[in-house]
Amino acid sequence: MSAMTSRTLRCTSQAAEHGASPAAATPRQRRLAKNKRQHKEGLEWRQQVLEEPATLSPPPPAAVGPGLSLSCPHFEACSGCTLDSNLDTPPVLHKAKAFFEDECGLGSFQLHTNSDSAHSWRQRARLAVRRDGSGRPVVGLFDKGSHAITAIPSCVVHHPAINQAAELVQQALEACAVEPYIEGNGSGQLRYVQLTVVDQQAAQPPSGGTGTSIVAAPAVQLVLVWNSEAAAEEEGSEGSASLAALSALASHLWQLGSQSADRPPLLHSVWANFQPARTNVIMGPEWRLLHGAELAWTRLGGADICFGPGSFMQANYAAMDRCLQVMQEHVPPGSVVADLHAGVGTIGLSLAATRQPRSVAAVEINGQGQGSFEHSAARLQHSLVAAPPAGASDGSSSSTPPMQLGYHVAAAGSDPGRWCRNATTVVCDPPRKGLEASLLRWLCTVSPEQGPAHMLYLSCSFASLRRDATALLASGRWRLRHAEGFLFVPGTNHIETLAVFERTAGASKA
């Protein structure tokens, strides 16, 4: 928190304590005082959660004005959020409305949101580990526009389990005398931590017993991003001392976070990721499981989704779940689905669990997702055989083949004709830069007989979606049937947009 902000907060609270007239405060002081009051209520709620972890549920929504508000004590210092009021009408929403309503002629472009969307939504967070201005090791985020670090122990957008696990790491830094990373000279040990909430209910396999041993509280998959190579060097060398320090830190955390007699374990697992390079890329190429279970699960869009620490996961599970439900409405039963930017296969698996497609082919450039996809697919196939959906094949009939679920590690644009062979529905969920030029060209030129009938394009960047949608519509091959937005990152000028296209000519394959 900047000196200016902390001074302002102090002054505001003193004014409030001494009963100063609200009229004497500036609008900003009043806003910060309100943030502080709501933050205090949030802390009280979190204290209750700590005492009763099995009942973790979202905090009561903050008292808000016309729009959703953030009310975070770290706002303005921390770089994580850029909006603290009217979160449900970020500036980009106006651009999206203008594009879809005025340029594309859709009736109305809506943004999905509800009153508790603003808080406790983040289920995956990456936090830096550095020394602060006073030399104290800190787990937090960089200040706006700099690499100076701010601790954010009361972050209101983090799921409470993430804040608790971050606090555990904060304590362990000092207890284990861990050296935070120093960017200036590349020295130090711990660079970042990644914390991901694991749904312990979904973690139980469907045949996992009576349910009496199920631990209801969410736990955290913790990754320690360590500033060294993975391989131990000769005994007594600097490398092995560094790995011994990593091992001691991980054991200390595991003991603190997994073995409490009076509450469910906070940690699901502890991983090491090794990043020795002097780079801004957070994760390195090598991973090692140090404690706990390798497989982590959550339930999204009607499917159990397995994920590892190195594969992409949407951080806002509730918003993604809602988005998946909407996507399902646009996929007819019996479809052949190509899920082109699949990650661990969340979208394709959700469609497989709910829409009875004939097949789903997942295509993903990062091979880290493949093992997770295969675990999820096996669990899904098992549950479909055990309880086939009404009217669906259980695979026992020789005339109706079982659903095919496949995963290809490849760039979607490398051979779109191959990845989309026979596909009736193509799903694109690209990174911020949008569709690869080769994929966009194929979609804009493929003949109606060969191409898919429907396309679901989910985008995290409105600018690249607008560019790609303009090209798709200009090609004459596609018509926009529907579009809507989802608040995946409340507190920022960002919306996730789903655009549903249908082919304009030729016989539909679906």
Binding site for ligand SAM (CB under 6 A): 312-314, 341-343, 346-347, 363-366, 411-413, 429-431, 436, 460
Q: How far is the CB of 215 from ligand SAM (least distance, A)?
A: 25
Nearer to ligand SAM, 78 or 363 (CB): 363
Nearer to ligand SAM, 32 or 460 (CB): 460
Q: How far is the CB of 459 from ligand SAM (least distance, A)?
A: 9
Beta pairing partners, 337: 360, 425
- How far is residue 259 from each of residues 160, 266, 303, 309, 331, measured CA to CA in Å? 19, 9, 30, 22, 45
Euclidean distance between CA atoms 80 and 316, whole angstroms: 14
Nearer to ligand SAM, 25 or 411 (CB): 411
Q: How far is the CB of 25 from ligand SAM (least distance, A)?
A: 43
* Crossing angle for the helix pair 27-51 and 3-17, to the nearest 10 degrees: 90
Euclidean distance between CA atoms 251 and 270, whole angstroms: 9
Please count the helices (runs of H) and the strands (runs of E) in the chain: 12, 17
Q: How far is the CB of 407 from ligand SAM (least distance, A)?
A: 12
Nearer to ligand SAM, 292 or 343 (CB): 343
Euclidean distance between CA atoms 243 and 286, whole angstroms: 14
Which helix (H) or strand (E) element contains residue 403?
A: none
Euclidean distance between CA atoms 424 and 304, whole angstroms: 24
Torsion of CA 469, 460, 497, 103, to 10 degrees: -40
Q: How far is the CB of 417 from ligand SAM (least distance, A)?
A: 15
Torsion of CA 264, 256, 283, 194, to 10 degrees: 40
Instruction: Kindly state the DSSP code that residue 469 receives in the 8-state scheme.
Output: H
Place of tokens 């090598």: 286
Nearer to ligand SAM, 290 or 460 (CB): 460
The tokens of 420 are what? 């989309």
Q: How far is the CB of 435 from ligand SAM (least distance, A)?
A: 9
Nearer to ligand SAM, 133 or 367 (CB): 367
Euclidean distance between CA atoms 192 and 195, whole angstroms: 10
Beta pairing partners, 408: 363
The tokens of 161 are what? 């389990």
Q: How far is the CB of 418 from ligand SAM (least distance, A)?
A: 13
The tokens of 163 are what? 């804040």
Nearer to ligand SAM, 83 or 347 (CB): 347
Euclidean distance between CA atoms 120 and 486, whole angstroms: 16
Q: 88, 70, 216: which is closest to 154 by C-alpha?
A: 70
Q: How far is the CB of 163 from ligand SAM (least distance, A)?
A: 24
Nearer to ligand SAM, 161 or 342 (CB): 342
Residue nearest ligand SAM, Cβ-based: 343
Reduced to 3 states, what is the DSSP secondary structure of residue 142?
strand
Reduced to 3 states, what is the DSSP secondary structure of residue 111?
strand
Nearer to ligand SAM, 173 or 352 (CB): 352
- How far is residue 392 from each of residues 352, 356, 365, measured CA to CA in Å? 12, 7, 32
Nearer to ligand SAM, 128 or 327 (CB): 327
Nearer to ligand SAM, 363 or 469 (CB): 363
Q: How far is the CB of 314 from ligand SAM (least distance, A)?
A: 5
Euclidean distance between CA atoms 394 and 386, whole angstroms: 8
Reduced to 3 states, what is the DSSP secondary structure of residue 498?
strand
Reduced to 3 states, what is the DSSP secondary structure of residue 71?
coil
Euclidean distance between CA atoms 305 and 311, whole angstroms: 12
Q: How far is the CB of 510 from ligand SAM (least distance, A)?
A: 21
Q: How far is the CB of 148 from ligand SAM (least distance, A)?
A: 30
Q: How far is the CB of 221 from ligand SAM (least distance, A)?
A: 16
Q: How far is the CB of 320 from ligand SAM (least distance, A)?
A: 7
Nearer to ligand SAM, 267 or 377 (CB): 377
Nearer to ligand SAM, 172 or 351 (CB): 351
In 101-143, DSSP assigns E strands to 111-112, 124-131, 137-142
